[in-house]
Chain A
C-alpha cells in the first residue's frame, strides 16, 4: 500500500488520522496542530495571566506528562510569562506511586521545572498502604479521592500558588458527562465540563487545559515526542480502567470518533441549564487516576435531592441562562450569589467544607478510631446507589462492529 501523504504539508508520510476530523497528518504537523489547539483553548478562555504561577498536578502518567510538555513548549513559544512547576501527590502506595514519582522526578529534570511532592503520610498521618491494611481494598478509592483533592490544594497553598492545572482530557470530560447524565447528577455535570473550577472558600483555582484534547492524540503526542511517562495501573484499583462509562465512550469513539467532542459540547450546553451550587464544589474529583473520573462516591445523591428542588426554581432562568455560550466556560462559581447551603471551613483542619467537619477529617476520624465503617456512613448509601447505576450501565454497553 502506497504511503498516504500529510493533509497539511502534502509532503511527509501521514502517520495519524485525527479523530475529530479524520485529517491525515505527518508527525511534525500533528505535533504542531496539537500544540496550537491547546494554545487556542488557553487563549480563548483567558486561562492564564502573564507572570502567573502555575502548579501542574503531575502523576507521571501520560496526561499530566503531556500537559507539562505542552505548557512548557507553549510558554516559551508564545511568551505566556508563566512560572511553571510540578506538584505531585504521594499517596503512599508502594510499587505504584513510588515508581511513578521516579518518572515525575525525571520530568522535573527534562522540563527544568521545580518539583514538590506532598505525601498523604505527612498530611494525614496515613499512607494508602496503611489505609488499605486497615479497611481492605474495597472502598479505598473513596479515601484516596477525598485525600487527593485536599492534598493538591494544600500542596499549592504551601507553594503559595493559586492555580493548579490538571491533565483531564476530552475523553475524561465525555466520560464524566455520560456518567453524570445517566446518574442525573446535574451539579456535577456542570462542574465537570467547565474548564475552570474554583471553589468559593478556597482561593486555589483548578483548570484543565487539555479538556478538548482526545486521549488518543495525547497518547500519540507522547509517543511521537517520545515523552517519558509511567503506565502501570494502581495496584489497589486494578480493574478501574474497565469502568463502564469509559467503555461506553471508547465504543462510541470506535463507531464515530467525533462523538467524544460532541459529548463534551453537549455537556457544556446542558451545563448551561444547571443552576449553580457552590456547596457541591467540595465534591469535585481532581483525578490523578483518570479512570476514576466522575465516579467518586460522595454525597452526590443527597445533594441531588436538594438540587432537583432547586432546579424547579431555576427553571424560570432557563432561557436567560441559555443565551450566552461563554457562560459555560470559564465560569467561576460565586457562593455568595447562591443561598441555601453555606460554605464554611472544617473546624479541625480549616479546609473548605459545607459540613462542620470536612470529609477527609471524617474519614480520618474513622481510621484513627479503627472503625472506618461508621465514618463513611454518609457515603455508604450513595456508593451503593452509584454501583447499582454502574451495573445498569454495564448492560448499556454498545457492541462495536
Chain B
C-alpha cells in the first residue's frame, strides 16, 4: 500500500452521521454516529461522500439488507442526503470532500405518513 504518501499516518477527521426517517433500523437503531476517517486516503485524496458510503456499509451497517441503503454504489433513490443541513446536490453529491466536524444526515422518505 502507498501509505508513504500520507502526511501523517495517524491524521484523521471526525464527522457525525445521522440516520433518520426509518433508516436508523439499518444501523443498530442508533440515530447518531460519530465516525472517524483518515484525513488522507492511500492515493493522497481526501475522503468523499462516496468513500463514506462504502465505509458505512463495510463497517457500520449490521443489517444485511444493503440494498435498502445503497443501490448501484450510490444512495438508494428516495433517501435524502444533507451535508451540514444542505441538500447534497448543492455540495457536489458523492464527490463532496469531507471536512473535520461535518454533519451528514441520511433521511429516508420512503416511510408512510
Contacts and interface: CB of A to CB of B under 8 A. Distances in A.
Interface in A76-133: none
A203 to B, nearest CB: 26
Nearest to A210: B113
B92 interface: yes
B77 A65 contact: no
A223 interface: yes
B87 A291 contact: no
B58 interface: no
B91 A1 contact: yes
B72 A59 contact: no
B19 to A, nearest CB: 10
B112 A17 contact: no
A223 B24 CA distance: 15
9 contacts: A14-B86, A15-B86, A64-B113, A231-B20, A241-B111, A250-B77, A250-B110, A287-B112, A400-B71
Interface in B87-103: 87, 89-92, 96
A253 B76 CA distance: 12
Interface in A275-311: 287-292
Contact of B78 (A16, A250, A399): A250
B111 A231 contact: yes
A219 B80 contact: yes
Contact of B21 (A231, A287, A289): A231
Interface of A: 1, 3-4, 13-17, 24, 27, 59, 61-66, 167, 169, 171, 215-216, 218-220, 223-224, 229, 231-234, 240-242, 246-247, 250-251, 253-254, 287-292, 399-400
Contacts of B105: 223
Contacts of A61: 111-113
Given A15-B90, A399-B72, A251 B112 contact: no
Most chain A CB inside 10 Å of its own CB: which residue of B24, B105, B107: B107
Given A219-B21, A250-B78, A17 B89 contact: yes
B112 A234 contact: yes
A291 B112 CA distance: 6
Cβ-closest 8 pairs across A and B = A63-B113, A290-B112, A61-B113, A289-B112, A15-B86, A250-B77, A250-B78, A231-B22
